[in-house]
Amino acid sequence: RKEVEQDPGPFNVPEGATVAFNCTYSNSASQSFFWYRQDCRKEPKLLMSVYSSGNEDGRFTAQLNRASQYISLLIRDSKLSDSATYLCVVILVTSGTYKYIFGTGTRLKVLA
Amino acid sequence: GAGVSQSPSNKVTEKGKDVELRCDPISGHTALYWYRQRLGQGLEFLIYFQGNSAPDKSGLPSDRFSAERTGESVSTLTIQRTQQEDSAVYLCASSRTSYTGELFFGEGSRLTVL
């Protein structure tokens, strides 16, 4: 079983739609959680951190459910510029080392 | 610029040759990571440095792969006797510490093995 699993998509949505992505992780030693964004043929960039209390940044809301080992990202009022691959990332801490594990990503296409 | 710099940006080599990929992290960043991304695939963890030490080498696919970091700065990823399955983009990232959560990536080195 992969350590971080995501639905690869693609999710094709019209402009203005609300879309949600999910991610599950298998290792309960996972300590910190993030969403990164990767544009086509570009490097990944941090989108936002994910907390149990939930956090919001403009149109983006992230949520963590530790009991279910599940992370979500909600995008409201989708823009064309939101088209990208969204990567779920966990930091696995073992014996004092910090390993960033990336999911394979969920592709989003926002259509005009 | 002040970002993570990788070289070469593109490398085409023949099967069996050795290649070296270089990463210059952001100055002062103590943690450095190497990932591999095959076409259409996710990021595959290779190795992580804290300072000049590599506490986690678990992702290196075979003994043909090695990496080092010197001066808590530049890192080199070496692939010996390259194979066609080594073709991928090799991404380097640095972070101020191991646990800040924000990795700053370079643009990657695209390796093609013929």
CB B10, CB B109: distance < 8 Å: yes
When CB atoms are compared, the residue of B45, B91, B101 closest to A99 is B45
Torsion of Cα atoms, A92 then B92 then A59 then A68, to 10°: -20
Q: Which residues of B touch A (CB under 8 A)?
A: 31, 33, 35, 41-43, 45, 48, 50, 55-56, 58, 91, 93, 98-99, 101-103, 105-108
User: Which residue ranges of chain A lie beneath pLDDT 50?
Assistant: none
CA distance linking residue B103 with residue B105, whole number of Å:
6
What spatial distance separates the first Cα and last Cα of chain A, rounded to whole Å?
Answer: 37
**What pLDDT, on the 0 to 100 scale, is given for residue A29?**
79
Give pLDDT tens digits for B20-32: 999 999 999 999 9
Residue B1, pLDDT > 70, answer: no
Specify the pairing of strand A11-14 against strand A30-38. Answer: unpaired
Give pLDDT tens digits for B47-82: 999 999 998 888 999 999 999 999 989 999 999 999
Specify the pairing of strand A45-50 against strand B31-37. Answer: unpaired
**What pLDDT, on the 0 to 100 scale, is given for residue B14?**
97
A95 exposed, middle or buried (CB, 10 Å; 0-12, 13-18, 19+)? Answer: exposed
Residue B99, pLDDT > 80, answer: no
CB B92, CB B6: distance < 8 Å: yes
Average pLDDT, chain B: 93
**Better pLDDT: A95 or B114:** B114
C-alpha distances in Å from residue B103, one per residue of A30, A65, A72: 17, 23, 20
**What pLDDT, on the 0 to 100 scale, is given for residue A38?**
96
When CB atoms are compared, the residue of A43, A49, A97 closest to B48 is A97
CA distance linking residue A49 with residue B112, whole number of Å:
34
Give pLDDT tens digits for A17-26: 999 999 999 9
Angle at A98 between CA A93 and CA A104, to 5 degrees: 95
Residue B45, pLDDT > 60, answer: yes
CA distance linking residue A57 with residue A79, whole number of Å:
15
Q: What is the largest CA-CA distance in chain B?
A: 39
**What pLDDT, on the 0 to 100 scale, is given for residue B100?**
74
